[in-house]
């Protein structure tokens, strides 16, 4: 049956939707005015092309429901009008607002409902990106419920604290608003989390006990690590096992990580992410791909690795300008992308694991094979990595080739990942107690210089050893702080309350390549 607007010169309707900005969201009020005049349909309020095209999707979806809009002038305003609206996620709110202004939906039924979703031409609701961020922001708003597409319902329910309704199409939303047939509610208690996949285990690695220990220290204190060794020595194999010894994700970390992947459109099945990310971009990645960007800024690899591991294999093969953009996220744990009209910040607190050969041919440090590279070739290769970037990597470890006896042995070598992970968790728990009065600080690597001096005192022997290392290796002030942070992590792994000489000695070993190798 076809229905039209009956009587009245003007009809005004309002409903609510949400817009994503970075990984955060803000409410958007969708106002529709229907008045006499030439039949037109215009959308104002700084819409982008996807939002402007919404009028075609909305009119087709309404028509395919058997409804007819009156031949009047339709104006849709999206407030706040000063912020640019992007994406097709406003389709459902616009359609409901237009139908209400046409008198086909009671205005009181839409006054406090929030609507999110993209419309197909037949009225089916398609999923949109960033719904978890929107749902999380909605918890602070006064509303009666959140209506989202079926494919986004699980993701929206993760935020909790509010009614979430799952809708397959526009017709079911209209039935719900008319009170004819209620939509299915989805609660946080019915949401399942993603099942952590089995990570590669450290028990698979033969030999390399020194490198394994360095990775354990890196995991315990969230320290960045660089592994240097000949091809085939196991650098990539070791790095890919780093997530298996990291502590489990806390709920806040899971939600924040899921938000980023939701905004980037990488969320699988809308479930809460419980596995720490492991991102390994190819060395041809652009600076925008690594750090984030685009005309509409989206998260880059450093943000997708938030709360997890960013692995850069063949580090010198990355373009130098790409590597240099890592400085801010490594130092601040976030990245700010500025455009002419706005600036947005993405979280980027990750553990950097990098691997490289010691020279172009790869055999400079291999005792069994001769290097064919000249001195200038080696220096040009190494100088692709700047000193300031190298200074921000806490641990430098030489990965030696594995001997035949270790490879051929049937006996397990070293502890499996679960045993190492238990030690890492115990060390992180000691750090949690230490930083209980420092919100936002979770590991030793995040300490400021003032906190290092206040929380990491050295005894006389430890201070003397560190002084000798600083003078003999000509280390920087940043390296001084980082050695102390690593020393504190080594002490935490040992269960020691204070930093002793042996802890500093191990930390210094992880910086010993600074002068002997890089110059």
- Cα 16 from Cα 30, distance rounded (Å): 6
* CATH number of the CATH domain containing 285: 3.40.50.300
- Alpha-carbon distance of 226 to 245, in angstroms, equals 17
String of b and e for 3-34 (b: at least 16 CB within 10 Å)?
Answer: eebeeeeebebbbbbbbbbbbbbebbbbbbbb
CATH of the domain at 499: 1.10.8
On whether both 309 and 353 belong to a single domain, the answer is yes
Q: Mind listing the pLDDT tens digit for each residue in 365-378?
A: 777 788 888 888 88
* Number of separate domains in the chain: 3
DSSP, collapsed to helix, strand or coil, labels residue 457 as coil
Write the pLDDT tens digit of every residue in 178-237.
988 889 988 766 555 555 556 788 888 888 888 999 999 999 999 999 999 888 888 999
User: Would residue 5 count as lying in a domain?
Assistant: no
**Same domain for 18 and 119?**
yes
The dihedral of CA 29, 26, 23, 167: what is its sign?
A: negative
| Percent of all residues in the chain with a pLDDT value above 90, rounded to a whole number | 44
Q: Report residue 515 as tokens.
A: 């002068």
pLDDT at 122 over 70: yes
Position 134 pLDDT exceeds 50: yes
The answer as to whether 369 is a domain residue is yes
Pair 207, 178 in one domain: no
- Does residue 4 belong to any structural domain of this protein? no
pTM of the model: 0.85
**Are residues 314 and 220 part of one domain?**
yes
Q: Is residue 503 part of a domain?
A: yes
Residues 313 and 455 in one domain: no
Task: Please say which residue of 393, 423, 440 terminates a domain.
Answer: 440
Cβ–Cβ contacts within 10 Å for residue 474, how many?
Answer: 10
Same domain, 254 and 163: no
DSSP for residue 10:
E
Of 440, 458, 492, the residue at which a domain comes to its end is: 440
The reported pLDDT for the residue numbered 341 is 67
Per-residue model confidence as pLDDT tens digits over 322-357: 999 998 898 888 888 877 667 888 999 999 999 999
- Whether residue 467 sits in one domain with residue 488: yes
Contact between 192 and 150 under an 8 Å Cβ cutoff? The reply is: no
How far apart CA 344 and CA 84 sit, in angstroms, is 13
CA distances from 293 to 144, 277, 364 (A): 36, 20, 38
pLDDT confidence of 93, banded at 50, 70, 90?
very high
Would residue 196 count as lying in a domain? no
Query: What are the DSSP calls for 292-316, one per residue?
Result: EETTTTEE-HHHHTTTSEEEESSGG
Question: Is residue 391 one of the residues assigned to a domain?
Answer: yes
Residues 21 and 87 in one domain: yes
* Domain end among 135, 155, 190: 190
Residue numbers of the domain that contains 60: 10-190
Q: Are 369 and 363 in contact (CB under 8 A)?
A: yes
Residue 16, Ramachandran bin (φ over 0: left; ψ between -120 and 50: alpha; else beta): beta
Reading the block at residue 413, the tokens are: 């070598």
Looking only at the bridges linking them, the beta strands covering 309-312 and 278-279 are parallel
The CA distance from 220 to 487, in Å, is 11
Whether residue 118 is contained in a domain is answered as yes
Give pLDDT, residue 6: 44
In 10 A of CB 269, how many CB atoms?
A: 9
Same domain, 175 and 257: no
Q: Are residues 434 and 464 in the same domain?
A: no
Would residue 43 count as lying in a domain? yes
Specify the DSSP class assigned to residue 224: -
Do residues 454 and 510 share a domain?
Answer: yes
CATH of the domain at 52: 3.30.230.10
For the residues of 407-433, what is the DSSP string, one character each? HH--S--S--HHHHHHHHHHHHHHHHH
Does residue 460 share a domain with residue 404? no
pLDDT per position as a tens digit, 154-190:
888 888 888 999 999 999 999 999 988 889 988 766 5
């Amino acid at each position: 049956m076809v229905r039209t607007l009956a009587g009245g010169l003007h009809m005004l309707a309002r409903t609510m939707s949400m817009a994503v900005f970075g990984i955060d969201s803000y409410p958007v009020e969708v106002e529709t005015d229907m008045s006499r005049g030439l039949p037109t349909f215009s959308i104002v309020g700084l819409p982008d092309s996807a939002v402007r095209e919404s009028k075609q999707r909305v009119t087709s979806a309404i028509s395919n429901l058997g409804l007819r809009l009156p031949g009047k002038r339709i104006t849709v305003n999206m407030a706040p009008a000063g912020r640019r609206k992007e994406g097709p996620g406003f389709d459902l709110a616009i359609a409901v607002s237009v139908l209400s202004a046409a008198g086909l939906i009671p205005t009181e039924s839409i006054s406090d409902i929030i609507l999110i979703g993209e419309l197909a031409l037949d009225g089916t609701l398609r999923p949109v990106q960033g719904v978890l961020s929107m749902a999380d922001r909605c918890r602070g708003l006064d509303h009666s419920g959140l209506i989202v597409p079926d494919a986004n319902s699980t993701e929206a329910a993760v935020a909790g604290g509010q009614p979430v309704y799952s809708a397959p199409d526009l017709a079911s939303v209209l039935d719900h608003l008319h009170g004819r047939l209620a939509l299915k509610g989805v609660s946080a208690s019915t949401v399942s989390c993603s099942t952590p996949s089995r990570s590669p285990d450290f028990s698979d690695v033969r030999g390399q006990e020194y490198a394994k220990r360095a990775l354990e220290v890196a995991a315990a204190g969230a320290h960045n690590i660089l592994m240097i060794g000949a091809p085939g020595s196991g650098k990539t194999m070791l790095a890919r096992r780093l997530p298996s010894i990291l502590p489990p994700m806390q709920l806040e970390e899971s939600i924040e990580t899921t938000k980023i992947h939701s905004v980037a459109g990488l969320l699988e099945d809308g479930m809460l992410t419980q596995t720490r990310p492991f991102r390994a971009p190819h060395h041809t990645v652009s600076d925008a791909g690594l750090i984030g960007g685009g005309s509409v800024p989206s998260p880059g690899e450093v943000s997708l690795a938030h709360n997890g591991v960013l692995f850069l294999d063949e580090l010198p093969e990355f373009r130098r300008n790409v590597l240099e953009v890592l400085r801010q996220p490594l130092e601040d744990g976030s990245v700010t992308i500025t455009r002419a009209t706005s600036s947005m910040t993405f979280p980027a607190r990750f553990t950097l694991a990098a691997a490289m050969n010691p020279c172009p041919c790869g055999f400079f440090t291999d005792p069994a094979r001769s290097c064919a590279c000249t001195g200038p070739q080696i220096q040009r290769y190494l100088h692709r990595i700047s000193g300031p970037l190298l200074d921000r990597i806490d641990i430098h470890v030489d990965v030696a080739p594995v001997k035949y006896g270790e490879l051929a042995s049937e006996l397990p070598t070293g502890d499996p990942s679960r045993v190492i992970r238990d030690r890492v968790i115990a060390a992180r728990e000691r750090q949690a107690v230490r930083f209980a009065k420092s919100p936002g600080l979770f590991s030793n690597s995040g300490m400021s210089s003032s906190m290092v001096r206040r929380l990491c005192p050295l005894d006389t022997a430890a201070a003397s050893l560190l002084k000798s290392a600083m003078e003999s290796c000509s280390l920087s002030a940043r390296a001084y702080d980082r050695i102390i942070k690593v020393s504190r992590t080594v002490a935490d792994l040992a269960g020691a309350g204070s930093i002793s000489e042996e802890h500093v000695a191990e930390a210094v070993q992880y910086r010993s390549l600074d002068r002997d190798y890089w110059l």
